[in-house]
Chains A and B, each alone.
Chain A
């Protein structure tokens, strides 16, 4: 009995520590006062509404959305073939290839962003939008390869061999047999890549130019100058968005099987 009580106490404290700050953000964003405070000074939606009126947040939200969607799609477009090759073919230097495409996960993002800016973007005169797109694609690539590879392993190769024997071309077999069978894994990789890219800060730190910024970087910059609850409101909204996406993915896809 005492151990049950002890267990409840421990779990309550730890969960408060883990979840509490998020609840406080939500409460603070509903404050009617002008400064960030908990408990909130009265209730209102004015800060939640103000988020939508701040021009730079709107622009950087669109930027982050586009990066997350296009970067993840690009990572899948190059990541699915390489995962397929590594699973089905004897790729020359296969292990090296696997290491190269999964390396961006090991190197801290801030270094990736800095190196990309200094040795590729500036010398070749790329614009920042393109640089961000390349950085986010590189960042998501390891996740795409890992999740897609995992679902490829469970796929029996004799089914596509049968398709080829029955007259289907190799490409046709890939498009009609392999792709449909791993679509759950691809969707899971997309969601994981999207959330990772959207929340990513360090890789984009050095990659910002006039009017071109990702949303988290914009929030960090706003924090330095202003101390009102709008960032809290935005944080809460984004958190609900991420939780919603992952919840739906889990519900309809069994997301956790893939990740």
Chain B
């Protein structure tokens, strides 16, 4: 450890100053704009935001979709991760590769694929009409369902990866031991797997939940103006109405959620380091 203060400052200051000027200061000013009006500090923008039915709908929809995506990702994630960790090492490596692969692909491309699948002339509609299940194309795009599917596909890999590493850190014999002692699969899951992997579940869950809350591309492409979420609402308020007060309130909601999630992850990490 070197003690020279001047050197330390010279090394650390450029990055700290850059982040403070380009990023921290503008964001803080944006947040403060929502907390004042012509006379001074005021929460009028917050009251106005939350008493507008459309905003409230979007706010609740965002939380609801985030929660649904997280729960479904956890269920599919556990099933997938359990299958993967039980594969022989070579197959396991391949499967992990396939899970990680989508993360390298541009989210625009990944989301756009769902237009080809779910659109009016898309794959699903052709199949449904071809099988005679529907009379004509049904509308799947620009619905909450489409956004849900898109978000799930976007964030599921994060959950699977978090659960795989949690399962790999679990004592090998825990599951066979519980089975020998007469537990059925449901009991094994609730009493053994879940408690031993709950940190991984929280990590994966936080990543999926905050990812879904702050998603822009998926609701923009698959939801359009019919299914707004907080970020697409923010974009619309600014570009259509020049409404920076609402933008500031939405920014505050997103930042508070994302910071609390991050704090939770940090505390988990330090708790684990102590153990």
Contact = CB atoms under 8 A, between A and B. Distances in A.
Interface of A: 7, 10-11, 14-15, 17-19, 21-22, 24-25, 28, 35-39, 78-79, 81-82, 84-86, 88-92, 94, 97, 100-101, 103-104, 106-112, 114-116, 118-120, 134-135, 137-138, 141, 145, 157, 170, 195, 198-199, 201-202, 205-206, 216, 219-220, 223, 231-232, 235-236, 238-239, 242-243, 246
15 contacts: A7-B83, A17-B156, A21-B114, A78-B14, A85-B7, A89-B1, A103-B23, A106-B255, A110-B231, A111-B30, A111-B254, A114-B238, A115-B30, A198-B106, A199-B107
Contacts of B106: 198-199, 216, 235, 238-239, 242
A138 B18 contact: yes
Contacts of A7: 83, 86-87
Nearest to A37: B121
B108 A216 contact: yes
A21 B124 CA distance: 12
B76 A90 contact: no
A101 B15 contact: yes
Nearest to A74: B18
Given A82-B16, A89-B1, 12 more contacts: A11-B95, A14-B79, A22-B110, A24-B116, A38-B116, A82-B15, A84-B11, A97-B16, A100-B16, A110-B234, A111-B234, A119-B30
Nearest to A31: B116
Given A11-B95, A137-B18, A89 B2 contact: yes
A14 B216 contact: no
Main secondary structure of the interface of A (DSSP, over half): helix
Interface string B144-161: 000000000100110010
B214 interface: yes
B15 to A, nearest CB: 4
B4 interface: yes
Contact of B18 (A39, A88, A141): A141
A92 B11 CA distance: 12
A36 to B, nearest CB: 6
A187 to B, nearest CB: 17
Interface string B89-109: 000000100110110111111
A138 B18 CA distance: 8
A215 to B, nearest CB: 9
Contact of B12 (A38, A91, A120): A91
B7 A111 contact: no
